[in-house]
Amino acid sequence: MNNKIYSLMALGAILFAAACSDNVSPISGSTSVPNMDNNLNIPQSPVLCSVIGVTDSLEAREKGCIWSPEMWGPTSGYRVRTGYDNGSNTSGIWIVSTYPENAYVDMIWPGNATAEYDSLALADVIDKCGGSLCGKALLKGGNSIPEYNHEYYQKIGGYVYFDFYLAGKNASGEFESVDVRNMEGVCVSYWGSFFELQLITDDSVAAQLGSAKFAISLFGTYSDVRNVCYSWNDFGFISRESGKIGMLPKEDVLSHVKGIRFVLSAAYEKQEEFKIAGISRYNASRISTNNLHPVITDCEPVFVEKSFCECEYSDDRIHIYTEDSVAIGYQFSLRFMDALVSSDSAANDCLNRTFDNLMPYIVKPGSREKPCDNPLPVFIRCSDGTVSESVEFKEVSTGYYSKIDSLTQDAAPIADSLIAHCLSL
């Protein structure tokens, strides 16, 4: 049973649990982009270097570099400091668009905004938002747009995309892709309605993924700006469209990323307010290899690939699974991977769509906060390239999921019936 859970966790698709601390330790890596001048009074010296992975080296000191995980924040300027600029000085520029392209969405900005691909296109907006990207989105309707289909848009709504690209454009004017595995994940600070955070992949990977996106859901918050962190392991393959849903190894996706996209759903006759206040690299806490306990006894530990906080698996979180919808989603997730057939079929399509429909309930427990101060290892990378679970995680998670299994048994027949229905197609 636990092996099924771990494989689904690797897809980043179930059981998101809130961690326990807002304290963050430093993340290595640069976040600079050339020519970030603006009027937000950012000190021009020392500089933020654009070479990923350089630490406090002689070269860094000679260049006057400072190192920070932050890519976007109140003092970042008008562009995201990705640290991946290809030398063209075209990375990190915000692009705002709608989906579908003809979606009748009004963007209501607090300042002047243009649609040009230029770092100053949203400068006035960012200034008026105090260094954030903020505004309102309104799905238009009524007689002012004759071709507006009220029933259609009530059903699907419209989406607003907020994109930035990591490397920028090449000599042909096309956005280049980069390998983002060393980011280890991403932290975002946001306010407003439901967001979906997607990775924009290059064309070759996008073709294999079909309608699926490598993404994660950011739940709505209106009381205050929410700060959340996700490792790439927390991301999963999500599809909101018809068509083929492809799944690739995580490494293949992460090594071909062009940019990052925030997706906001615009509501009919309602102004959806939003704010994108911060973006930084994930704080994967560095755990010493001196005292690791891999389950695989001949594993020679090299580093910790994924960590967890004990409070994520405390008994006071189990009550969430008493809700029928969450229990059904959990039991279905245990059966999902084994039920998939080897080829594209109506059965697979049904299983994937059912899984997508249950996802909002499965992830209902909440989103991951910034990692705790005393994380423990989940997966340990061994010197021979294999990965082992840690003894600590096996012990904690086995007891936790056994309790959930027992609590959700009444939902098992319903999950079985959903599986059987899909397999009968």
Q: What is the DSSP string of 379-421?
A: EEEETTS-EEEBHHHHHHHHHHHHHHHHHTGGGHHHHHHHHHH
Supply the pLDDT for residue 395. Answer: 93
Query: Per DSSP, which regions of 174-220 are E strands?
Result: 185-192, 195-201, 213-218
Percent of the chain with pLDDT over 90: 27
pLDDT of residue 413: 92
Q: Where are the domains of the chain?
A: 1-22+285-425, 26-58+68-284
Q: How many CA atoms lie within 13 A of 215 on its CB side?
A: 21
CA distance 93 to 79: 5
Domain 26-58+68-284, CATH: 2.60.120.430
Pairwise CA distance, residues 327 & 365, whole Å: 12
Task: Output the pLDDT for position 132.
Answer: 96
Residue 370 is predicted with a pLDDT of: 55
Quote the pLDDT of residue 207.
Answer: 92
Please tell me the predicted confidence (pLDDT) of residue 110.
96
Per-residue confidence (pLDDT) for residue 12, from 0 to 100: 33
Proportion of the chain above pLDDT 70, given as a percent: 72
Does the predicted TM-score (pTM) go above 0.85? no
Tracing tokens 């520029």 back to the chain, one arrives at: 93
353, 355, 359, 365 alpha-carbon torsion, rounded to 10°: 170
User: Tens of pLDDT along the chain (425 residues)?
Assistant: 443 333 333 333 333 333 443 333 222 222 333 333 333 333 333 444 544 444 444 555 555 555 467 899 998 889 998 888 888 989 999 999 988 777 778 889 999 999 899 999 999 999 999 999 999 988 765 434 444 454 554 444 578 899 999 999 999 999 999 999 878 789 899 998 778 999 999 999 999 998 889 999 887 777 788 888 888 888 888 886 666 777 888 889 999 999 999 998 765 556 788 999 999 887 545 567 778 999 999 999 887 777 787 877 888 778 778 788 888 888 888 888 888 876 667 888 888 888 877 776 665 444 455 556 677 888 888 888 888 999 999 999 898 888 988 888 998 999 899 989 988 87
